[in-house]
Amino acid sequence: MADTMQVTPGAAGTLPVAPVKGYWHSVWGRLRRDPVAMVAGLVLLAIVLMAIFAPWLAPASPYSTSMLTRLQPIGTPGFPLGTDELGRDVLSRLIHGARLSLLIGVMPVVNAFFIGSMIGIVAGFVGGRTNTAIMRVIDVFYAFPAVLLAVALAGALGSGLVNSLFSLTVVFIPPIARVAESVTTKVRSVDYIEAARASGAGSLTIIHRHVLGNVLGPVFVYATSLISVSMILASGLSFLGLGARPPTPEWGLMLNTMRDAIYVNPWVTVLPGLMIFTVSICFNMLSDGLRSAMDVK
């Protein structure tokens, strides 16, 4: 479980090495009986569907402004969730905002999952000095709290979506690499790999056949626990003005631009944050459920 503003690879030790076929089937079986995880999963599914079908679901354009209907409160006829400082329909902007907000929240973790796993697996598999060298470089990034690292990179690179995606990817590579390395090191010493080695299988074959399957599962679960942090950080960067740019609908940015209206229409201004919170907590609960479902005791 990763908490909001830090990224700890604490999960590594407890993650099981998954050897058996049908394992994932039994994980799913357990997960299905976890009501909290299932509800969280369904809410997330609904939000993802909302993002995909935004243009059909949204009652209005997220961009069309109207000076006559500015800063309407929640429950105004025609604007169920009110309007923002430019008279745009907040409901429509929230629905459309799901696209970018989910993207910039999930993408860094996905990127970091691939890059970090690769680094970790290579380090863990090769071992020795190479491992030490790679992990020491990774360690340097641990000298920065995640928020600071993200803000420092995004701030130095200048505002923009690509820069904020890049910064967050860099933030998540080290923890994922660490977990991947630690799991790989464990898997490597497992008997059947020694056996495969003894039978003369090449390194690549071993990595491909045995290591990947056994490592990526646990790393994946760990990565899912980072999505919640990533959502908060990505929207946070937009909130600071370092991510998405106006007039793009994005939840963090909406929070930022509506802040001036906090004295006029306070409860509308907090809605985008509620979305971030919902997505973030659902990812956390789902990831918790996944972890305990995988935790064969």
Report how far residue 222's alpha carbon sits from residue 11's, in angstroms, rounded to the nearest whole number: 7
Shortest approach of other proteins to residue 152 CB, angstroms?
5
Asked if 67 interacts with other proteins (CB under 8 A), we say: yes
Asked if 204 interacts with other proteins (CB under 8 A), we say: no
Asked if 269 interacts with other proteins (CB under 8 A), we say: yes
Asked if 33 interacts with other proteins (CB under 8 A), we say: no
Among 118, 157, 196, 201, binds other proteins (CB under 8 A): 157
Comparing CB distances to other proteins, the nearer of 214 and 224 is 224
Query: In which residue are the tokens 């569907």 written?
Result: 49
Asked if 259 interacts with other proteins (CB under 8 A), we say: yes
Shortest approach of other proteins to residue 107 CB, angstroms?
18
Comparing CB distances to other proteins, the nearer of 36 and 52 is 36
Phi-psi region of 85 (alpha: psi -120 to 50; beta: other; left: phi over 0): alpha
Asked if 281 interacts with other proteins (CB under 8 A), we say: yes
Asked if 16 interacts with other proteins (CB under 8 A), we say: no
Shortest approach of other proteins to residue 70 CB, angstroms?
7
> Which phi and psi (to 5°) does residue 170 adopt?
-60, -35
Report how far residue 101's alpha carbon sits from residue 12's, in angstroms, rounded to the nearest whole number: 28
Report how far residue 5's alpha carbon sits from residue 286's, in angstroms, rounded to the nearest whole number: 18
Among 17, 152, 195, 296, binds other proteins (CB under 8 A): 152
SS3 at position 261: helix
Comparing CB distances to other proteins, the nearer of 73 and 212 is 73
Instruction: Say if residues 294 and 37 touch (Cβ distance below 8 Å).
Output: no
Q: How many CB atoms lie within 10 A of CB 208?
A: 12
Asked if 35 interacts with other proteins (CB under 8 A), we say: no
Instruction: Write b or e for each residue in 124-146: b if 16 or more Cβ atoms lie within 10 A of its Cβ, otherwise e.
Output: bbeeeeebeebbeebeebeebeb
Shortest approach of other proteins to residue 48 CB, angstroms?
18
Comparing CB distances to other proteins, the nearer of 138 and 179 is 138
Count Cβ atoms within 10 A of the Cβ of residue 14 and give its class: 0-12 exposed, 13-18 middle, 19 or more buried: exposed
In terms of Cα–Cα distance, which of 272, 180, 262 is closest to 231?
A: 272
Choose the binding region for other proteins from 42-50, 171-179, 181-189, 268-276 (rule: CB under 8 A).
Answer: 268-276
Residue 217 to residues 5, 53, 247, Cα–Cα distance (Å): 24, 30, 39
**Of residues 101-130, which lie at the interface with other proteins (CB under 8 A)?**
none
Comparing CB distances to other proteins, the nearer of 5 and 49 is 5
Q: Quote the distance between the C-alpha of residue 27 and its chain's center.
A: 21
Residues found near other proteins in the complex (CB under 8 A)? 1, 3-6, 63-65, 67-68, 70-71, 85-86, 136-137, 139-140, 142-148, 151-153, 155-159, 228, 232, 235-236, 239-242, 245-247, 255, 257, 259-264, 266-267, 269-270, 273-274, 276-277, 280-281, 283-285, 288
